[in-house]
């Protein structure tokens, strides 16, 4: 199953909130995925198919060589923005 990680600085507030919003979007899209949330310092070593994080973390991610695609959000809990950015990536991956 598709594995998606929501990432923020502490791995328990913003990323958890982002995870819940993304889960709601995925349900609406009919996409099955396993989601988790984690802090950015632990994200590098994690196995995931897709990473979702905030725009403010984009620079930090540049220092990590990611093995999977990542999307960066202006608003971590905006369902429209999440759907908009998630759709092309999921299409590229052949999920939808």
**Counting contacts by CB under 8 A, is residue 79 touching another protein?**
yes
CB of 35 to another protein, least distance (A): 12
Lookup: tokens for 14: 């913003």
Of 4, 5, 6, 76, which lies in the binding site for another protein, with binding defined by CB under 8 A? 76
Could you tell me what percentage of the chain is helix, strand and coil, using 3-state DSSP and rounding each to the nearest 5?
A: 45, 25, 30
Helix, strand or coil, per DSSP, at residue 76: coil
**Counting contacts by CB under 8 A, is residue 10 touching another protein?**
yes
**Counting contacts by CB under 8 A, is residue 86 touching another protein?**
no
Helix, strand or coil, per DSSP, at residue 7: strand
**Counting contacts by CB under 8 A, is residue 54 touching another protein?**
yes
Extended strands (E) in 1-96:
2-8, 33-39, 50-54, 70-73
**Counting contacts by CB under 8 A, is residue 11 touching another protein?**
yes
Helix, strand or coil, per DSSP, at residue 35: strand
Of 29, 46, 56, 85, which lies in the binding site for another protein, with binding defined by CB under 8 A? 56
For another protein, which is the closer residue by CB, 54 or 90? 54
């Amino acid at each position: 199953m598709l594995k998606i990680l929501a990432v923020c600085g502490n791995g328990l507030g913003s990323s958890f909130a982002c995870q819940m919003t993304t889960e709601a979007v995925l349900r609406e899209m009919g996409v099955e995925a396993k989601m988790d949330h984690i802090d950015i310092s632990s994200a590098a070593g994690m196995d995931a198919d897709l990473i979702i994080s905030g725009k403010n973390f984009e620079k930090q991610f540049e220092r990590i060589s990611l093995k999977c695609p990542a999307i960066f959000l202006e608003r971590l809990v905006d369902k429209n923005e999440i759907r908009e950015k998630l759709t092309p990536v999921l299409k590229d991956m052949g999920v939808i």
